Amino acid sequence: MSYPFHPILPAPGSFNPQRVGPTLLWRSSHELSQKCQVPLDLTVLTLLAGISIVAQGRYALKMPNGAFKPTTVNALGVAGSGDGKTPLVDNVLNPIQEVQREQRREWRGRLDTYQGELEEWRTEEKVLTQAIYRKQTKGGTAESERQSLRELYQRRPEPPREFRLLYEDTTPEALFLGLEKAIPTAALATDEAEVFFKGAMNRARSHINSLWSGGSTVITRATKEDIVLDDARLMLLLMVQPGILQKYMETQGQQARDSGMLARFLVCAPLSIRGQRFYSLNTPTEWKAWEQAEARLTTLARENLVLVHAPDTPREVLEFTPEGAACWVQVANEIEPQMGPGGYFEACPDHGSKLAENVARVAALIHLFEGHEGGITPETVLMAMDICLYYSGHFQQVFMPAPQEEQDAHQLNEWFNELRQFNWRIMRYNDVRQRSPRPLRDKKLLKAALEVLIAHQQVVVFTHHRTRYIDLMPWLGPPDLSML
């Protein structure tokens, strides 16, 4: 069966919900969105991040070109205070934290046993070293004791590995040391990413990029042994307020873009639903799809337990079916020219260059979460494409915002649209200054925004009897001025 060729790439920011509608990902995200009173698009991204956390340590992805890639997906949610970031993240991470808490109790028991064994080992070491010292002071060789000491060092107890998938407020050294000494997969997940953007973790961009790509990295320390990470996995789930991200972009944004760190993120900056959230006595108390999703996250989290005792356990490889591979190749080939002049990604080639790989990774996560057998199909690739291209629109909205006057013009026109619904056509200029959205009541900002709308033929400004007016529907022809 050959995959039919026709253009399939949607415009960034557009979305076709019919394709993902039947999936557990979509159904459970709908329920979680209602449960937490959070926008659906932010819920889908957060759940995808949760799947990545539990999948990346045990699964790898074989790309159609034969390369092996992690199933890691970095997620950045941009939402204001009170928009529900904390309950959303708590719900998604709770199944993982439950497994982690359970394993922490067991780890503490193993740690106590280890401390006892280590004390016994040190006592034996002390006895042998003293015996060697006594024989040497008497002119002997103590060869048998030396051999016993060498064998003892080979039997030195190893500290038990901690099962830790989640880190929140941490330093780069503590996080990378955890990947080396605990289990070689983890997530930096926080609903208040100010710590990340203002702290030392942000300066570890090169190491973060290497781990996202599936490469090795070495963290050099001045007074301690280097931390060497071979084939470890690290993903980021960051929720940040718009103001904090804006300040970060003003000071370090260009460095982060140049390093490629931000280009690797799936980004969601949803419209706030504050003022639209209402509780009802008829609200469901059972969330069946979300309960299935929680169970699936728990199952996938438990698959990582093998890494506590065997951190080098090979990962299971997810592959595409031949048709799925052909579908992904078409997606990649349609993305590539969009990085050229006039394309969707002309101004953000860093983002465009990572987009096709993110589509493949999201397809792998959907395939795994839904419990599909066999290879990744074209239908799953198309779901991943829709999701990634939707978040691509958000990436450009956040990191490539339109000029201020165009943003203000959009906001002003949205307000005008509300008035147009009631056939409100003519307004006095001064009334607009007094009643428009508060940021636009500034004289200069309003003038600049109106100039943009005038250029787009959305409004006309005119003077009648020495009073300035704004025509909100100039396409209807000259207005009747007799009533002014």
Distance set, CA 355 to CA 66, 186, 440, 481 (Å):
18, 23, 36, 54
Residue 62 near residue 319 (C-beta atoms within 8 A): yes
Separation between Cα atoms, residue 98 and residue 190, nearest integer Å: 17
Residue 233 lies in a domain: yes
Closest by Cα among 246, 252, 261 to 397: 246
| Average pLDDT score, the chain | 91
Number of other CB atoms surrounding residue 182 within 10 Å: 21
Question: 380 or 402: whose pLDDT is higher?
Answer: 380
Q: Are residues 175 and 96 in the same domain?
A: yes
Tell me how far the alpha carbon of residue 409 is from its chain's centroid.
31
Q: Is the pLDDT of residue 435 over 50?
A: yes
- Do 62 and 179 belong together in one domain? yes
**Separation between Cα atoms, residue 128 and residue 292, nearest integer Å:** 58
Look at residue 160 and tell me if it is in a domain.
no
Whether 481 maps to a domain, the answer reads no
Q: Is the pLDDT of residue 292 over 50?
A: yes
Q: Is residue 483 part of a domain?
A: no
Domain boundary among 335, 370, 399: 399
Specify whether 176 is located in the same domain as 255. Answer: yes
Residues 142 and 258 in one domain: no
The per-residue pLDDT for range 27-70, each reduced to its tens digit, is 999 999 999 999 999 999 999 999 999 999 999 999 999 999 99
5 within some domain: no
Instruction: Give the domain range for residue 122.
Output: 104-154
Contact 153, 124 (CB under 8 A): no
- pLDDT score, position 31: 95
Q: What is the CATH number of the domain that holds 301?
A: 3.40.50
Task: Show the tokens assigned to 364.
Answer: 């792998």
Predicted confidence at residue 3, as pLDDT, reads 46
Whether residues 97 and 108 fall in one domain: no
Instruction: Tell whether the model's pLDDT for residue 272 goes beyond 90.
Output: no
- 231 with 192, same domain? yes
Residue 283 has a pLDDT of: 67
d(Cα 133, Cα 112) in Å, to the nearest integer? 32
Domain count, the chain: 3
pLDDT tens per residue, range 199-251: 888 888 999 999 999 999 998 887 888 899 999 999 999 999 998 998 888 88
320 and 456 both lie in a single domain: no
Neighbours of 217 (CB within 10 A): 20
Check pLDDT > 80 for residue 433. Answer: yes
Backbone angles phi, psi at 389, to 5 degrees: -70, -30
SS3 string of the chain?
Answer: CCCCCCCCCCCCCCCCHHHHCCCHHHHHHHHHHHHHCCCHHHHHHHHHHHHHHHHCCCEEEECCCCCEEECCCEEEEECCCCCCHHHHHHHHHHHHHHHHHHHHHHHHHHHHHHHHHHHHHHHHHHHHHHHHHHHHHCCCCCHHHHHHHHHHHHCCCCCCCCCCCEECCCCHHHHHHHHHHCCCEEEEEECCCHHHHHCHHHHHHHHHHHHHHCCCEEECCCCCCCEEECCCEEEEEEEECHHHHHHHHHHHHHHHHHHCCHHHEEEECCCCCCCCCCCCCCCCCCCHHHHHHHHHHHHHHHHHHHHHHCCCCCCEEECECHHHHHHHHHHHHHHHHHHCCCCCCCCCHHHHHHHHHHHHHHHHHHHHHCCCCCCECHHHHHHHHHHHHHHHHHHHHHHCCCCHHHHHHHHHHHHHHHHHCCCCCEEEHHHHHHHCCHHHHCHHHHHHHHHHHHHCCCCEEEEECCEEEEECCHHHCCCCCCCC
392 and 413 share a domain?
no
Q: Domain check: are 379 and 422 in the same one?
A: no
Q: Which of 58, 52, 61 is nearest to 92 (CA)?
A: 52
Lowest mean pLDDT of 221-225, 264-268, 280-284, 435-439, name the range: 280-284
Residue 227 lies in a domain: yes
Domain closes at, from 354, 382, 399: 399
Is residue 356 included in any domain, yes or no?
yes
Confidence (pLDDT) at 290 = 96
For the chain, give the percent of residues with pLDDT over 90. 65
CATH of the domain at 437: 1.10.10
User: Is pLDDT of 356 > 50?
Assistant: yes
Q: Which of 395, 476, 405, 457 is nearest to 74 (CA)?
A: 395
Residue 158 has pLDDT above 70, yes or no: yes
pLDDT tens, position by position, 324-340: 999 999 999 999 999 99
Same domain? For 466 and 355 the reply is no
Alpha carbons 354 and 278: distance in angstroms, whole number: 39
277 and 239 inside one domain: yes
pLDDT of res. 2: 47
Nearest residue to 212 via CA among 361, 318, 376, 351 = 361
Distance of alpha carbon 59 from alpha carbon 55, whole angstroms = 6
Closest CA to 376 of 362, 390, 387: 362
CA distance 188 to 176: 11
| Weakest mean pLDDT among 56-65, 168-177, 248-257, 445-454 | 248-257
Q: What is the pTM of this model?
A: 0.82
What pLDDT does 1 receive? 43
Angstrom distance (rounded) from CA 447 to CA 431: 14
Structure token digits, residue 197: 């953007």
Whether residue 9 lies inside any domain: the answer is no
- Same domain for 150 and 198, yes or no, is no
